[in-house]
Copies of this chain bind each other. A is one copy, B any other.
Amino acid sequence: MTIDDLRNIGQELLSVIPRYRFAENARTGLRTGAAGDTTFPLDEAAENIIVSRIKSLGEPLSIVSEECGIEDEDSSSLRVIIDPIDGSKNAINGLPMFCTSIAVASGTTLDDVYMGYIVNLISGDEFWAVKGCGACYFNGNKTHTKTDDNIEIVLYESQRPSEELPRMNRLFSYTVRTRCLGATALNLAHVAAGSVSLFVTLSKSRSFDFAAGYLIVKEAGGICTDAEGRNISTIHTGLGKINTILASANAHIHARALDALINSHYR
């Protein structure tokens, strides 16, 4: 499986999925997906495309995906970790910010991910990396994380804003702008591509949301740990909500952000 295989899937998704935003049944939940969230028509359509295209490549593999769960788990084969639609809540409400995230791993831990691909299904922006490439490819161009110390924008996500935003307030005092886009993988992609200095979520995330972005951030020169600074490379890439995330453009920003989060008055 190569990046071109994933990019071909991305192009097919771009030709089909955006129109689901305006379908009459866009907001009608079909069922509860394997990871516990409601599956909407656009989640199902995206997953069907991705899983069928990946299986058609004919390689032995196991699949970890938000809607269908874990298929053919076998630690000796490739493991493909998929979020068919990251940002479903945006998509079903008409907000044009959602993406697909696909990570390919040689084993069952985050550190085994060797290829990551994220595609914004509205703008068409693509972000990818292969282990060792030393960059985030952003629409085909090599990009890297920001090298300066300035925190112009803090990207965050939160599933419990009234509890978690106060705990991030010291970090917010370092900046004049926040952004909360509603799609974890895109946040990581934009840290990697040098758009922003850091991304944080104090809500526990699922590995299919961040497996691709984790690799892309690291290859682009960034740092990705949990929000207390702990290494997450050995986590198991399954369906559960397992860890918080802090992804930074460089070591100086990571240290400042950790200090702000750990010394928050609201912990």
Residues of A in contact with B (beta carbons under 8 Å apart): 22, 89-90, 93-97, 120, 122-123, 125, 138-139, 152-154, 158-162, 165-166, 169-170, 172-173, 175-182, 190, 193-196
Contact = CB atoms under 8 A, between A and B. Distances in A.
A122 to B, nearest CB: 5
A177 B161 contact: yes
Q: Would you list the 7 A-B pairs with minimal beta carbon distance, nearest first?
A: A162-B173, A96-B123, A94-B195, A161-B172, A162-B172, A180-B180, A93-B195
B120 A196 contact: no
A182 B180 CA distance: 9
Please tell me how many copies of the chain the complex holds: 2
A196 B161 contact: no
Contacts of A96: 97, 120, 122-123, 125
Contacts of A177: 89, 158-159, 161, 182
Contact of A93 (B22, B122, B153, B169): B153
A26 to B, nearest CB: 11
Nearest to A180: B180
Contacts of A95: 153, 179, 181, 190, 195-196
Given A122-B123, A153-B93, A159 B176 contact: yes
A176 B190 CA distance: 24
A153 B97 CA distance: 14
A23 to B, nearest CB: 13
B161 A178 contact: yes
Contact of A166 (B152, B166, B175, B180): B166
B190 A165 contact: no
11 contacts: A89-B177, A93-B152, A94-B138, A94-B195, A96-B97, A161-B173, A161-B177, A162-B170, A165-B178, A178-B180, A179-B182
A166 to B, nearest CB: 6
A213 to B, nearest CB: 15
Contact of A94 (B22, B94, B181, B194): B194
A182 B152 CA distance: 13
A197 to B, nearest CB: 10
Given A93-B190, A160-B176, 13 more contacts: A89-B152, A93-B152, A93-B153, A95-B153, A95-B179, A96-B97, A161-B169, A161-B178, A165-B165, A165-B172, A178-B180, A179-B180, A179-B182
